[in-house]
């Protein structure tokens, strides 16, 4: 069932789309009926033959008891998978969940401040400021929630699930991208919030915004890059340099490009400037892989988050590991591998001294018993995220 859906995404026959070897240790099961229609959860974990191929990243990471002492578990209330984490400044954290809830936490106090609900699973959430949130999911409704009053407003809808939401503080505009293959632009201050709608080449999987650029990753590995000042047409249309389905996309804080991850344990670093000398800097590397009983096991890379100051970034995968990378110098800085299950989302706060980690099973092995969904708050030191130039 999963391979057939993957083939539909890649346009290839199942045996061509993924190199998958059956293994009793890594079962592939159909998803529950309630989730089968969701392209977001084409989740794979598969063993490959062991190989001596090295990542292009050098490794200076470490882990251990002292590392684990730097973090604590947030007392969270989600009863199903965690879909997204978003910070406002340093201490307000929004959490969306497949249990149909959105919750707001004050991490300095370690407690939940409020929550609200949708009619179905919530797939993404964002702040506009410290007073309100926007969220969307399987109920197809784009909701605005006012923290002070508890007022809820449905700004509008899509014809299929809303997978991504992003707010531009610079423009005062909200963007939503959906499995209905559209990108919509909203202004919650207007009497008619919907400002425009734009066709996408496939179902939206991930979206991010930096400066005046909005980047949307869709099915079939398409990536559309927009200038938010003129949204009539994408300024660039690309195909991901990764061979398999896109899982996450996040823009460089300096606005020069983006990182994109896939279900096949790889991350690509890509640049906006089409000049040949800039495009030469584009590269991809292997990550979130383990050798188990002599077999190289490859895990989807579900989450990416850039440090706001240094421009280094964290990645999280279905191996339950968070890694920190220096993309400029092609080095691994840290590797924290003690989480109880898959990493579904990551977020740095505005100062970059805290990383929120959602450890939440993402169905890569089908329906089975799994650890509870958890949120960990990690204190970040300079040594964890500061770039290390090549000598």
| Tens place of pLDDT per residue across the chain (391 aa) | 344 444 444 443 333 333 332 222 232 223 333 333 333 333 334 333 233 233 446 555 555 566 667 899 999 989 999 999 999 999 999 999 999 999 999 999 999 999 999 999 999 999 999 999 999 999 999 999 999 999 999 999 999 999 999 999 999 999 999 999 999 999 999 999 999 999 999 999 999 999 999 999 999 999 999 999 999 999 999 999 999 999 999 999 999 999 999 999 999 999 999 999 999 999 999 999 998 899 989 999 999 999 999 999 999 999 999 999 999 999 999 999 889 999 999 999 999 999 999 999 998 888 889 999 999 999 999 999 999 887 7
For residue 281, the model assigns a pLDDT of 96
Q: Which residue has the tokens 């047409």?
A: 233
From 256, 255, 265, 222, select the one nearest 241 (Cα to Cα).
Answer: 222
Q: How far apart are CA 206 and CA 249, in angstroms?
A: 6
Cα dihedral value 50, 52, 53, 57, nearest 10 = 110
Q: What single-letter DSSP state applies at residue 40?
A: G
Q: Are the beta carbons of 121 and 83 closer than 8 angstroms?
A: yes
Neighbours of 388 (CB within 10 A): 15
pLDDT at 84: 98
Q: What pLDDT score was predicted for residue 170?
A: 92
Eight-class DSSP state of 55: P
Q: Kindly list the distances between the CA atom of residue 348 and the CA atoms of 6, 130, 255, 390, in Å, as whole numbers in the listed order.
A: 31, 16, 17, 25
SS3 content of the chain, % helix, strand, coil (to 5): 10, 45, 45
Q: How many residues does the chain have?
A: 391
Phi-psi region of 39 (alpha: psi -120 to 50; beta: other; left: phi over 0): alpha
pLDDT of residue 62: 55
pLDDT recorded at residue 39: 37
Residues 6+ apart with CB under 8 A from 166: 126, 174, 175, 207, 208, 209, 214
pLDDT at 129: 97
State the pLDDT at residue 64. Answer: 58
Q: So what's the pLDDT on residue 387?
A: 96
The Cα–Cα gap between 35 and 118 comes to: 17
pLDDT of res. 206: 98
**Matching residue, tokens 């440090």:** 307
């Amino acid at each position: 069932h999963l391979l057939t859906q993957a083939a539909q995404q890649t346009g290839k026959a199942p045996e061509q789309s993924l190199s998958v070897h059956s293994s009793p240790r890594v079962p592939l099961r159909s998803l529950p009926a309630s989730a089968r229609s969701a392209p977001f959860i084409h989740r794979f974990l598969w063993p490959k033959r062991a190989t001596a191929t090295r990542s292009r990243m050098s490794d200076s990471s470490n882990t251990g008891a002292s590392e684990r002492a730097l973090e604590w578990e947030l007392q969270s209330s989600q009863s199903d998978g965690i879909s997204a984490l978003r910070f406002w400044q340093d201490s307000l954290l929004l959490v969306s969940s497949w249990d149909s809830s959105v919750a707001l936490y004050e991490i300095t106090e370690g407690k939940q401040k409020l929550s609200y609900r949708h009619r179905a699973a919530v797939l993404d959430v964002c702040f506009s400021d410290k007073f309100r949130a926007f969220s969307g999911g399987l109920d197809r409704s784009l909701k605005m929630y006012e923290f002070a009053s508890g007022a809820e407003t449905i700004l509008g809808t899509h014809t299929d699930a809303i997978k991504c939401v992003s707010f531009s503080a610079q423009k005062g505009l909200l963007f939503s991208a959906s499995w209905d293959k559209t990108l919509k632009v909203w202004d919650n201050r207007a009497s008619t919030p919907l400002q425009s709608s734009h066709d996408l080449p496939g179902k939206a999987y991930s979206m991010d915004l930096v400066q005046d650029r909005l980047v949307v990753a869709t099915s079939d590995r398409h990536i559309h890059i927009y200038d938010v000042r003129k949204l009539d047409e994408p300024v660039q249309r690309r195909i991901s340099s990764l061979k398999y389905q896109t899982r996450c996309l996040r823009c460089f804080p300096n606005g020069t490009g983006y990182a994109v991850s896939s279900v096949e344990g790889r991350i690509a670093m890509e640049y906006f400037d089409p000049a040949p000398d800039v495009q030469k800097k584009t590269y991809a590397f292997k990550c979130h892989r383990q050798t188990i009983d002599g077999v190289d096991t490859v895990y989807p890379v579900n989450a990416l988050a850039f440090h706001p100051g240094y421009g280094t970034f964290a990645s999280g995968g279905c191996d339950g590991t968070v890694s920190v990378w220096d993309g400029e110098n092609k080095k691994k800085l840290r590797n924290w591998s003690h989480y109880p299950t898959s990493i579904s989302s990551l977020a740095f706060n505005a100062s970059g001294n805290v990383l929120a980690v959602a450890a939440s099973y993402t169905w890569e092995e089908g329906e089975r018993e799994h650890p509870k969904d958890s949120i960990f708050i990690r204190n970040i030191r300079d040594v964890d995220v500061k770039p290390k130039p090549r000598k």
